[in-house]
Amino acid sequence: MMKIYINGKFYDKENAKISVFDHGLLYGDGVFEGIRVYNRLVFKLNEHIDRLYESAHSIMLKIPLSKEQMIKAVISTLKENKLTDAYIRLITTRGEGDLGLDPRKCAGKETTIIITDKIALYPQRLYKEGMNIITVSTTRNAHEALNPQIKSLNYLNNIMAKIEATNCGYEEALMLNDSGYVAECTGDNIFIVKNNELYTPPECMGALSGVTRETVLGLARSGKIQTHEHVFTRHELYVADECFLTGTAAEIIPVVKVDGRVIGHGKPGRTTLDLMKKFRELTRREGVKY
């Protein structure tokens, strides 16, 4: 039986419920993280916790637990569910208030939820053959409106882009920022390889500071690959030698076609395959053991 953590207690899935007055539901007012566990090793747990608290700080949401308490809560949820490989969804909402926007009404009611589940893996075919993605007309949120670096519960911007892509028969959407520069995909960061060097858009272009993104940049640097967090347009993407996406759920997934343009040789590239291998090795040996 799946056990879900809500504010320090475990509930069966059927009984894991929160108020309909929770501002997480009413307004998407809250923050979240998605974390992976590989064979009892929680991958980059501290990095995810840090990002959760940074997102909360930015929206002036007080998480009732200290980081150490949050880490303990995550581990105890994993133990309760006896999972060795898992996907963790960590959420803190503003909590129960009234029908008005004012978050002051929710003070002291912040709600922390931890769901651990089996991982829903992407089809193996996509890793072997690579993905075919399309640019959508929904632009990434402007940072002065709702900064894409805040991993908030308000994901409509990404969902609208995902709907556009699936309506066109594509698995994933490429999102540009409101100046037309490449930002990221709906739940993954984007990278290109050109002349054996690695490029990804800087966060200020509308990209989340992805934990997998940081990991891949580190792996590339230790493999003596030059890395650049650099602004680029769709043209640079179209003429890249290789392209791939990174995310906790997807890990590293090759992209072989963008807007109908074949990338490189139309197959997952050498650098991509090498980084995929190194990433898998890292997930096997590094993490918080429980």
Please list the active-site residues.
Answer: 151
Give me the 159-198 binding string for ligand PXG, x by CB under 6 A, dash otherwise: -------------------------x--xxx---------
Give me the 15-44 binding string for ligand PXG, x by CB under 6 A, dash otherwise: -------------------x----------
Q: Does 113 bind ligand PXG (CB under 6 A)?
A: no
For the bound state, the minimum distance from the C-beta of residue 131 to ligand PXG, rounded and expressed in Å, comes to: 13
For the bound state, the minimum distance from the C-beta of residue 44 to ligand PXG, rounded and expressed in Å, comes to: 8
- CA distance readout (Å), 135 to 145, 173, 193: 22, 6, 19
Instruction: Pick the stretch among 67-75, 122-130, 205-213, 225-233 that binds ligand PXG (CB under 6 A).
Output: 205-213
In which order are the strands placed within the sheet that holds 3-6?
A: 9-12, 3-6, 111-117, 86-93, 30-38, 41-42, 288-289
Residues of this chain, 129-158, that bind ligand PXG according to CB under 6 A: 158
SS3 188: coil
Instruction: Pick the stretch among 10-18, 123-131, 247-255, 282-290 that binds ligand PXG (CB under 6 A).
Output: 247-255
The smaller minimum CB distance to ligand PXG, of residues 5 and 191, is found at 191
- CA distance readout (Å), 102 to 27, 29, 94, 244, 280: 10, 11, 10, 41, 44
The smaller minimum CB distance to ligand PXG, of residues 111 and 200, is found at 200
Token code pair at residue 165: 């892509």
A 10 A CB-CB count for 175 gives 28
The smaller minimum CB distance to ligand PXG, of residues 4 and 173, is found at 173
- CA distance readout (Å), 287 to 44, 216, 217, 282: 6, 15, 18, 9
Whether 33 and 48 have beta carbons less than 8 Å apart is answered as yes
Whether 88 and 52 have beta carbons less than 8 Å apart is answered as no
Containing 283, the helix (H) or strand (E) segment is helix 270-285
Instruction: Pick the stretch among 98-106, 126-134, 241-249, 264-272 that binds ligand PXG (CB under 6 A).
Output: 241-249
The smaller minimum CB distance to ligand PXG, of residues 88 and 208, is found at 208
DSSP character at residue 104 = G
Residue of 30, 97, 247, 269 that binds ligand PXG (CB under 6 A): 247
For the bound state, the minimum distance from the C-beta of residue 54 to ligand PXG, rounded and expressed in Å, comes to: 12
The smaller minimum CB distance to ligand PXG, of residues 208 and 240, is found at 208
For the bound state, the minimum distance from the C-beta of residue 232 to ligand PXG, rounded and expressed in Å, comes to: 17
- State the pairing for strand pair 189-194/242-247: antiparallel
User: Per DSSP, what are the bridge partners of residue 199?
Assistant: 192, 228
> Which residues here bind ligand PXG, judged by CB under 6 A?
34, 158, 184, 187-189, 208, 210-213, 246-249
